[in-house]
């Protein structure tokens, strides 16, 4: 994917909340935690970690939902209540966008999986790296390097 393909758009179920990103995700993930199972009404949530400065809301007013802090702020469409993105308090260089919101959900394949200890017994995801909990901040640069290396190959 070239930079000419950006900005790249997405929206919630009803279309009232529109987002765009101006750079590719640095990492993709599936989270199997019980919170994500409940909030996504599914087996796991999907995340595309995007540099915060490359993310913006272009239409609509996102509202907080989910846990309303203190460590995470989950943002939803006020009308259809789709969970569109998450900001992690104290880790504001990235925004976790739900990749199924993108017009073409090309970044939905998870490179890592987190909270595998809560994974439902029938679930298999093609993640290259599996964590029983979450990767540490020290793990992230290595994971991002590996992710961008494989992205270069798959999109060449
Ligand atoms: Zn909506
Ligand atoms: Zn989770």
10-residue mean pLDDT series, the chain (156 residues): 78 98 96 97 97 98 91 95 94 95 92 98 97 95 95 60
Q: Tell me how far the alpha carbon of residue 3 lies from the centroid of ligand 2, in angstroms.
A: 30
Give the span between the Cα atoms of 80 and 52, in whole angstroms. 24
Reference 111, options 140, 77, 83; nearest CA is: 140
- What pLDDT does 153 receive? 59
Residues with beta carbon < 5 A to ion ligand 1? 12, 14, 16, 77, 79-80
Q: Tell me how far the alpha carbon of residue 102 lies from the centroid of ligand 2, in angstroms.
A: 20
Three-state helix/strand/coil letters over the chain:
CCHHHCCEEEECCCCCCEEEECCCCCEEEEECCHHHHHHHCCCCEEEEEEEHHHEEEEECCCEEECCCCCCEEEEECCCCCCEEEEEECCCCCEEEECHHHECCCCCCCCCEEECHHHCCCCCCCCCCEECCCCCCCCCHHHHHHHHHHHHHHHCC
Q: What are residue 72's phi and psi, to 5 degrees?
A: -135, 145
- What pLDDT does 2 receive? 59
Ligand nearest to the backbone CA of 115: 2
Domains along the chain with CATH numbers: 3-154 (3.90.1590.10)
- What pLDDT does 1 receive? 53
Q: How far is CA 63 from CA 53, 84, 85, 87, in A?
A: 20, 10, 10, 12
Do 108 and 99 touch, CB atoms closer than 8 A? yes
CA–centroid distance for 14 within its chain: 19
């Amino acid at each position: 994917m070239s930079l000419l393909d950006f900005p790249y758009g997405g929206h919630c179920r009803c279309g009232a909340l529109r987002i765009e990103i101006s750079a590719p995700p640095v990492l993709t993930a599936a989270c199997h935690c019980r919170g994500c199972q409940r909030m996504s009404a599914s087996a796991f949530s999907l995340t595309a970690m995007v540099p915060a400065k490359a993310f913006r809301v272009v239409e609509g007013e996102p509202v907080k939902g989910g846990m309303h802090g203190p460590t995470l702020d989950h943002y939803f469409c006020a009308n259809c209540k789709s969970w569109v993105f998450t900001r992690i308090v104290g880790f504001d260089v990235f925004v976790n966008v739900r990749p199924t919101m993108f017009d073409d959900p090309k970044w939905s394949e998870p490179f890592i999986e987190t909270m595998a200890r809560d994974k439902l017994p029938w679930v298999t995801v093609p993640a290259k790296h599996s964590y029983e909990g979450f990767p540490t901040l020290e793990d992230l640069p290595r994971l991002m390097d590996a992710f961008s290396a494989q992205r270069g190959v798959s999109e060449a």
